[in-house]
Amino acid sequence: MSFFDVVFYLFAAITLLAATGVIVARNPVHAALFLVLAFCSAAGIWMLLEAEFLAIALVLVYVGAVMVLFLFVVMMLDINLVKLKEGFWRWFPFGALIAGLMVFEMVWVLGSRQTAEVSKAVVHAANYSNTKELGRLLYTQYVYPFELAAVILLVAMVAAIALTLRRRTGVKTQQVSEQVKVRKADRLRIVSMPSEPRADGK
């Protein structure tokens, strides 16, 4: 077993343990943090396949942004765990069946001799830039699907913002542009007054 294999199995073990932690953790915050760990070690496995752009993008987008917002929500909600775990054992056989099916499919696809040839990671030279190659493909061959996906995401974002937008009348809000435009003369009047002589004439 080479050093490479040791690292792979280490990352794989951490990913599996963390993924199990996500479902068995009693505390939802712990579950979210386990998911973060699973993402990080999955990124490590991708890094081993020389897919450094995907690995770093996974950490940047999922760990750095999505999971932070997730944690945000989970921390502020008062989640009733007993209610959440209700019916766990009733649905367990069904879930186990689906999990078993997925494992079978994966072994079938990845374990066969034909796919073993295809799925072998290509080793590139040191100066090979994964990011550049991905960018070139995305912006030439797959430019329409890429742009389409971007537009769909934009529409979803606009829709989400539009859902939360409520215009209420009679609310006092700040008009920042007006605040910035204010000059000294609008608020302050300087009056020049001659000083009064003192009553005792001194």
Partner 1 sequence: MMEWLESIQKMLGFAWLPIWTLLKIVAIVLPLMGAVAYLTLAERKVIGWMQIRIGPNRVGYFGLLQPLADGLKLLMKEIIVPSGANKLLFIIAPILTLMPALAVWAVVPFNAKLVVANVNAGLLYVLAMASLGVYGVIIAGWASNSKYAFLGSLRSAAQIVSYEIAMGFALVTVLMAAQSLNLGDIVRGQQGAHGLLNWYFIPLFPMFVVYFISGVAETNRAPFDVAEGESEIVAGFHVEYSGMAFALFFLGEYANMILVSFLTSIMFLGGWLSPVPFLPDSILWMFIKVAFVLFLFLWFRATFPRYRYDQLMRLGWKVFIPISLIWVVVVGAWMQTSYWLW
Give me the residues that bind partner 1 (CB under 8 A), please. Answer: 29, 33, 36, 52-53, 56-57, 59-60, 63-65, 68-69, 71-72, 75-76, 127-131, 174, 176
Residue 141 CB, nearest distance to partner 1 (Å)?
21
The closest of 171, 191, 187 to 179, measured between CA atoms, is 187
- CA gap 90, 173 in Å, rounded: 52
Residue 139 CB, nearest distance to partner 1 (Å)?
12
Residue 64 CB, nearest distance to partner 1 (Å)?
3
Instruction: Indicate the residue among 29 and 99 with the shorter CB distance to partner 1.
Output: 29
Exposed/middle/buried for residue 55 (C-beta within 10 Å: 0-12, 13-18, 19+): buried
* Dihedral sign of CA atoms 147, 155, 152, 38 in order: positive
Instruction: Indicate the residue among 102 and 156 with the shorter CB distance to partner 1.
Output: 156
H or E segment at 156? helix 143-164
Residue 177 CB, nearest distance to partner 1 (Å)?
11
DSSP 165: -
In terms of residues, how long is the chain? 202
Structure tokens at 108: 């079938």
Structure tokens at 115: 């796919």
Instruction: Indicate the residue among 115 and 129 with the shorter CB distance to partner 1.
Output: 129
Instruction: Indicate the residue among 12 and 57 with the shorter CB distance to partner 1.
Output: 57
Instruction: Indicate the residue among 15 and 40 with the shorter CB distance to partner 1.
Output: 40
